Each structure stands twice: as structure tokens, then as C-alpha cells.
Chains A and B, each alone.
Chain A
Amino acid sequence: MNVTFDQVGLLARRSVVRTWRQPGSSIAPLLFPLLLLAVNSGGLRSETRLPGFPTHSFFAFALAVPFIQGALFATMNAGTDLARDVQTGFLNRLALTPLRSAALLAGQLGGVVALGLIQACVYLAVGLIVGVRPASGVGGVCVLLVFAALIALAFGSVGAWAALRTGSAESVQSLFPVMFVFLFISSMNIPRNLMGTTWFRDAATANPVSYLLECVRSLIITGWDGEALGLGFAIVFAIGIVAIALAAYALPRRLAR
């Protein structure tokens, strides 16, 4: 068992080291969501004057978005790295070791979770510097970090599944716009109850990303909201379980051993 943990740890470390050594792929997931946060919180600040808007600080409202957006980037990175391993034959090298398939997948995803946590800490730090004080306190921050790790794991598994299914980094990257559509048709910029356009509100209500955002948002601006937390965690668990199951199913077929 110790050997397996050791192997998982080393694979996760490799995943982090790889990302660190590609500044292009580690800086973009950190900076781009912060850039969008800055632009949106400046441009949409007047939303806070809408009756029923949950906070006076649009920055605090929008701070949930980078957590989800960062996870989307992590998905692409995880998937692209795994697809490159397929393309270069490195996955075959791993397949030729006594390493279990589950350990291999856990190692790859462990790296994604570590990066997701680093991103979450950066976003949180930026929020604190700007003056956002999470309404749920220190306990809420801990829950937020756990949730960020779970989002990274769930979306990372989606990327891993796509990589194992297609074996092509380009195919994995083509998923990115699709996932971004989910982000934009959600409650990322306005609470669902304040959306005036019916079809958009319906689409945002059906979109699971809205509930992930609202879970993060509740911890920052509302405090302890059982419904938002329950829905957020249920959805992230559901996405994670399905994606991990699909990736675990695809891995032995890709390893073909």
C-alpha cells in the first residue's frame, strides 16, 4: 500500500512539475480568470444597485467565477498532458510497469488537484487584498478550498476521460470552447432571480455550472447556505463520479494491456 501511495505521489509531482515547467500553461489559468474578474467587476459594478442584488461589492460577487474558470483551464491542462503521454508513448512506458491503472489515474489527477488548490489560494488571496471578507469565516474558507479541489478533480477527470478516449491533445483542446459556453450561460454575471430574459434564466437554471458558482458565492457573500452548499457539492460529486468512472473505463482500453 505504501508503495502505491509513493507511486501516486510521484506521478502527481510529475504532473505539477510539468505544469510548472510550461509557463504558458501555468500562467494562463492563473492570470486569465483574474483579468476577466477585473474587467467584469469594473464594468458590471452598477448591477449592485439592482433591487435584490445580494451584495454591495460586485468584486465579492464575481470572485466565484475564477474558481470555476480556473478549473476549466485545469481540465484542459490535465487532458492535454495525458493526451501527450498517449501520443509520445509515455503512457505505454507507465503501462509496462506493475503500476495499477487506478494508481496511474490517481497520480495524474492528484497533480490537477494540487494545481487547483494553488489557483484557489491565489484567487482567495487576491480577494482578501481587495477587501473581500468571506461571510462564512475561516471555516468557510476551508470548505471553499475543499470545494475548489473537488471541482479541479471533477473537471480534471473530464479532461482525462477525453484524453484517454481520443488520445489527441488537439481533440481535448477543442473541448475548451464547449465548456466555456457552459460558463457563460450560467449565473456567472448576475443572480438567476434577477435575470430578465426567460430563456437565459431557464438555461442558467438547467446548467450545473450555475450551482457550482452559487456554492462558492454563498460561502463568500451569504455565509452558511445549506441549500447552495448541498446542491454545489452534489453536482461536483456527480460530475466527478461519472467522469472518474468514464476515465477509469477508458484507461485499460488505452493501455491495452
Chain B
Amino acid sequence: MDRSNTIEVHELVREFKKGPRAVDGIDLYVGPGEIYGFLGPNGAGKSTTVLMLTTLLPPTSGTARVAGHDVVSEGPEVRLQIGAALQEAALDPLLTGREHLRLQAALQALPRGERQSRATELLERVGLTQAADRKVRGYSGGMKRRLDLALALVHRPRVLFLDEPTTGLDVQSRTALWDEVRRLAREDGVTVFLTTQYLEEADVLADRVGIIDHGRIVAEGTPAALKAEIGRPTLEAVPAVAADRDRVAALLTRFGELVPSSRGVAVRIDAGEAGLVDVVRALDGEHLRVENLQLHSPSLDDVFLAKTGRSLEGGDDEPESDG
């Protein structure tokens, strides 16, 4: 089997002193040219996993092979095959975009004659040609992210790690980055391991998604398969009077199985969307007023909710354990 751009992880663990297991025995496989979305709240273990897979942090136990090489015993070989844009755009504010690319090209041992043309090509590809000779300290957040991505691509890596690449970006910059990631995977066959806390990002971009919580993978599959697993839509009702919460819950149990809700009472409706009318009639019949009534088609947040009992969107962040 060609493992030149795969990621294989088995029982990977990372423990920190005086802290819980940031990564607690995860297994995963990412195939060639696949975009794998690693979804989870802050502190779930996403960045720690990326640091281990990029050889920057040794695992406590378990094994991981990236591009066919072990991340512990074959670190230099792994680093030759991967590109990474980590959570913070790691740039020197005093250098220009072009200087960054030329330095990176030299450190990646690109032939001297190729460095200038590669820098120009990448600057054009990420839309920074005009700003190429400006110091990075004057760049916007989106420009820094795009330069960071270009730097990760200098040596044409087979596997690309992107750690929350669109955090803090405006919609336009985010969409442009998504397009570039898709192009890399589809046209260049680059395997992309992307961590995110944005459901939409994982949904629209990833071929497969792994959901991580408290260092463990709680669900994995294509976004469509994961949502299909949840199946029926969820109806969430927020009582107008907090004291009515138990009565609303009792009423809703007639229509399906209760599921956790961070704001009110939620039920997975047995009759599907058609059951909404009956729920409204029943609430009216019981004189129960609701402040908000929403029917959700299954989303990745529902998958997260079903697997962890908590909502990813708008939920409280976990405390960072990995410093």
C-alpha cells in the first residue's frame, strides 16, 4: 500500500504534568488526498494531536505514522513530507512576505534557482503579490493566515496540517482559504488534516470528520453519515416561564426521546418534521407558552450533542490543559 501521504494513528496518548490526558488513546486513519476535519471544543486535544503528528511534541504512548514514517523515530523524514500552519500564524513581524518565503525555501533546501520563482508563485496563489514586499507587521489577520499557508506549501508537502486555520478570519478570507484547501486536495492530491471548532467548516470542507472531546474521539465518519446516524430532526422548546420547564419536558416526551439541550427542552421527534404541528397544538392545549421553538435538521452539533451531552456551538469552552 502506498503510504506516502497517509496518516495512521494508533492508541496515541499525551499526558502533561499536573494535568489530565490531553489526548487519551486516539486511533485514526486519513487516506491519500483526503480532507480530514478534526472537530472539537477548545481544550479537547486537537492542537496537542497536531503537535504530536508534526513531530513537535513527543507522544506519551501509542504510535503515529505520517507519510509512512514514525513521528518519534523518523522525525526528520516526517518533516520533509509535511507542511503545517499552526494555530498562531508563526511569522516574523520585521520580515516581508517575500523574505519569509525565500527563507523558508532555503531552510527546506529548495535549489537556489527555484526559490525566487516558488516564492512568486505562492504569493500569487494566496493573493499577496501586492503586499509581498511589505513587512508582515502591517498585514491583516487574513493576510497573515494566507502567508502562513503559503509557507507551509513551499516544499510541496504531501501531507498538510492546518490547526484552526480560519479562526478570526472574515467570511471572505475564510471562503478563499477553503477554496485553496479544496484545490490542494483535489488537484495536487495533498492529504489535509484540519482542526476546527467551526461546524460549518468541517461540514463543507471535510471528506470525513473526527469529533474529539476530552482527548477521545467520540464519533468519526463522513458528515452525511454522522448526521444520518442521528436521523430524526430535533425540536427544541425554550419555555417562556422557567418554572414550566418540567411540564414542557413531560409534554414533549409524548412525541419522542428527550435529548440534552443547553437552552431549554429538546426532543428527537419520532414523526419527523410532520410532528411539529402536533407539538404546537399540544403546547397550546396545555396553555404552555414558549419563548422559542426551533426545528433542527441534524447537524454536526447534534452529533456532538448526542455523543457528549453538550453542545459545541455556544457551549462553554473546556479549560486548556495543554499549555
Query: Are A88's CB and B92's CB within 8 A?
Result: yes
**Could you tell me which residues of chain B, from 85 to 105, have a CB within 8 Å of some CB in chain A?**
86, 88-95, 99, 102-104
Verify B92–A14 contact, CB threshold 8 A.
yes
Let me know if A200 is at the binding interface, CB within 8 A: no
A22 within 8 A of B: yes
The prevalent SS among residues of A at the interface is helix
- B75 x A257 contact (CB < 8 A): yes
Q: Is the CB of B84 within 8 A of A96?
A: yes
Q: Which residue of B lies closest to A18 (CB)?
A: B94
Contacting chain A: which of B52-60, B198-206, B270-278? B52-60
Name B108's closest neighbour in chain A (CB-CB): A97
Evaluate contact between B95 and A17: CB separation under 8 angstroms.
Answer: yes
Q: CB within 8 Å of B: which of A65-104?
A: 85, 88-90, 92-99
- A6 to B107 alpha-carbon distance, docked (Å): 9
A55 to chain B minimum Cβ distance, whole angstroms, is 42
CB distance from B52 to the nearest CB of A (A): 10
Interface residues on A, range: 20 to 34
Query: A7 contacts the other chain (Cβ, under 8 Å)?
Result: yes
Q: Is B214 an interface residue when CB atoms closer than 8 A count as contact?
A: no
Q: How far is the CB of A168 from chain B (nearest CB, A)?
A: 14
The tally of residues in B whose CB lies under 8 Å from a CB in A reads 31
**Counting CB contacts under 8 A, is B109 at the interface?**
yes
Given A98-B80, A257-B55, A257-B56, A92 contacting B90 (CB threshold 8 A): yes
Contact between B104 and A97, CB atoms less than 8 A apart:
yes
Contacts of B102 in A (CB 8 A): 10
Chain A min CB distance to B111 (Å): 9
Given A95-B56, A96-B84, A256-B58, A89–B106 Cβ distance below 8 Å?
A: no
Contact with A along B70-87 (1 / 0, CB 8 A): 000001100110101010
Considering only CB atoms, which chain A residue lies closest to B106 in the complex?
A10
Q: For A99, list chain B residues within 8 Å (CB).
A: 107
Q: Which A residues between 120 and 134 are near B, CB-CB below 8 angstroms?
A: none
- Tell me whether B182 is interfacial, beta carbon within 8 Å: no
**Are A88 and B90 touching (Cβ within 8 A)?**
yes
Query: What residue of chain A has the Cβ atom nearest to residue B55's Cβ?
Result: A257
Q: How far is the CA of A90 from the CA of B86 in the complex (A)?
A: 10
Residues of A within 8 A of B89 (CB): 89
B residues with CB within 8 A of A: 54-58, 75-76, 79-80, 82, 84, 86, 88-95, 99, 102-104, 106-109, 112, 135, 151
**Given A92-B86, A96-B82, A99-B107, 9 extra CB contacts under 8 A:** A7-B109, A14-B103, A88-B88, A88-B90, A89-B89, A95-B56, A97-B104, A257-B55, A257-B56
27 A-B contact pairs sorted by A residue (CB < 8 Å): A3-B109, A7-B109, A10-B102, A10-B106, A10-B107, A11-B103, A14-B92, A14-B99, A18-B92, A18-B94, A18-B95, A21-B135, A88-B91, A88-B92, A89-B86, A89-B88, A89-B89, A89-B90, A90-B91, A94-B107, A96-B84, A97-B79, A98-B80, A256-B57, A256-B58, A257-B55, A257-B75
